[in-house]
Structure formats: C-alpha cells, structure tokens
Amino acid sequence: MNQMNNHPTREEDFDLYALGALEGDEKLAIESHISGCANCARKLAEAQGRISLLAFAAPQSEPSPLVKERLMAQIHASRESAAAPARAPRASGSASVGGLFGRWWAAVLVPVGAALAIATIVLWNQKVQLDRQLAEMHATIEQQQAQLDEARDMAHLFEAKDTITVALAPKQGTPPSSAHVMYNAKMGMLMYDGKLDPTPADKSYQLWLVPMSGDPINAGVFNPVAGQPNHWMMKLPPGTLPKAFAITLEPAGGMPHPTGPMVLVGAVS
C-alpha cells in the first residue's frame, strides 16, 4: 500500500482490504491508520458496501451434473460409514477423495472470484474518474461557450450605430473613480467598465439604468477588488430609453430600488 503521510494513496487499497486481499504489513498499516482517520474510515466503509453489493450482483450459476453426482456419492458414502463401522476405512477413503475435491474446487473458485471482484472494482474506479473528467470537460465547454457568446454580443454592441457611450463621473465628496457604460436600447444590451475602491464588508455597489419614465432598473451588483477593474455585460428589456446611469452604495447583495448614496452618475446627452 503506497502511503503519503500515512494516508493510502491508492483508492483500490480500501477495496482490496474489504475483499480480504491485503496481508501482512499492508493490512496492519491500513487498520492502524483508519483507527485515527475518520475520512479513511469512511472510504473503507464505502468500499465494504461496494463489496457487499458485488455479492448480490454476482450471477447465479447451476453446478454441472458431474458435481452433483460427486456430491451425492460423497453423502451416500458418509451414510454407509455411519451404518457399517466395519467399512469405515473405505468410507474414510471416499471422504478423503471428497475432501480433496472440495479443496481443489475452492482453490480454483476463490481466486477466480477474487480476481473478478478486483477487476470489477478497478473498472468501477476508472468509470468514476472518467465521469469526473467528462463533467469537468462539459464545464469547460460551457464556460468557453459563454465567453464566445459575450465576445459576439460585445462585437455587435460596438458595431451598432445606435449604441451610446455614457461616462460616469464621481459625485462631489466621493473618492476619485472612473467608469463608463455602453448601451443599445434596441438590442437591450449593456456593457459596464469601471474601476472603483472596494466597498465596506456590509455594502455593495449597484448600477442603475434611469429610464425616461418609471423606476430605475437594476443593471448589476458588484464588489470591486482593490486595483482591479470590473467588467460585465447584461441584457435589459429591449426598447428601454435611458436618461442617465448611476451607481449607488447599497447593503451587501443590492436592493430592488436605490436606497443608498450616489457614487457615480452620467447623464445621456
């Protein structure tokens, strides 16, 4: 059993132990380790559960007629031995043959069964690893697709002649900062770029589209990291005509409507 800091490094060691295939120092090492390691004890319990399931999942097979005949002959010989003590030596010989056959049968079947169980466990572990790799691959593909969609939307936003750019200026008495918004009402697409100081722990910045009529529309909640800019794209209801964009300081996570002080604002010219 390969170990690192006394932890088994091969997942199959737990399955081999559950099968009774570990011996000597390897068996003692895992027994002494799990007594003080709850995580490895849990893995061993899971392995023992898998081995139990394998026992129920194993296909049932009927013995061949030859095996049945030999078994009946052995039973018959045992009965004769009990009824006629004088013939005990002969019955004993038959029993010896039967016992030898039984040991041979066990010597063949037990290793084969263990080998099949170990092979099943190895394939099971490989399947788990492949499933994990496949899930990671799907997540990567989805992320790349999202980045591709954003790049396509950004290109359309830049190319559209009716896209407007609004610079957001800090309100008097607030720290120096800069940000701007690109917005296309027909597409309902907004892009924000800006660099602000971090918020207090219990606060968040919130960007608002202030329409020509009606209540301000939430256009993004964010918490800047010191020295790093913020950038995102957001889809809003198409056809909404803005008269201004503003950033307010709100409770952490944002609010349905503006409640805090205004930090940046820019009017649509």
- Tens-level pLDDT at each residue, the chain (269 residues): 444 456 776 777 777 777 777 777 888 888 888 888 888 888 878 877 776 666 555 555 555 566 556 656 665 665 566 555 544 444 444 445 455 555 555 555 555 556 666 677 777 777 778 888 888 888 888 888 887 887 888 888 889 999 999 999 998 777 778 899 999 999 999 999 999 999 999 999 999 999 999 999 999 999 999 889 999 999 999 999 999 999 999 999 999 999 999 999 999 98
Q: Looking at the DSSP assignment, which residues form a beta bridge with residue 31?
A: none
Cα torsion at 97, 101, 104, 110 (round to 10°)? -140
Distance of CA 60 to the CA centre of its chain: 35
The whole-number pLDDT of residue 115 equals 62
Structural domains of the chain in order of their starting residue, each with its CATH number: 3-57 (no CATH), 164-267 (2.60.40)
The whole-number pLDDT of residue 56 equals 53
The whole-number pLDDT of residue 103 equals 54
N-terminal to C-terminal alpha carbon distance within the chain: 73
Inter-CA distances, 157 with 167, 186, 233, 246, Å: 16, 10, 10, 20
The whole-number pLDDT of residue 87 equals 47
DSSP letters, 172-228, are TTSPP-EEEEEEETTTTEEEEEEE-PPPPTTEEEEEEEEESSSS-EEEEEE-PPTT-
Inter-CA distances, 23 with 19, 51, 184, Å: 11, 18, 72
Please calculate the CA angle 140-128-13 and round it to the nearest 5 degrees: 135
The whole-number pLDDT of residue 86 equals 46
Whether residue 260 contacts residue 174, with contact meaning beta carbons closer than 8 Å, is answered with no
The whole-number pLDDT of residue 91 equals 47
Copy the structure tokens of residue 172.
Answer: 């008097």
Does pTM top 0.85 for this prediction?
no
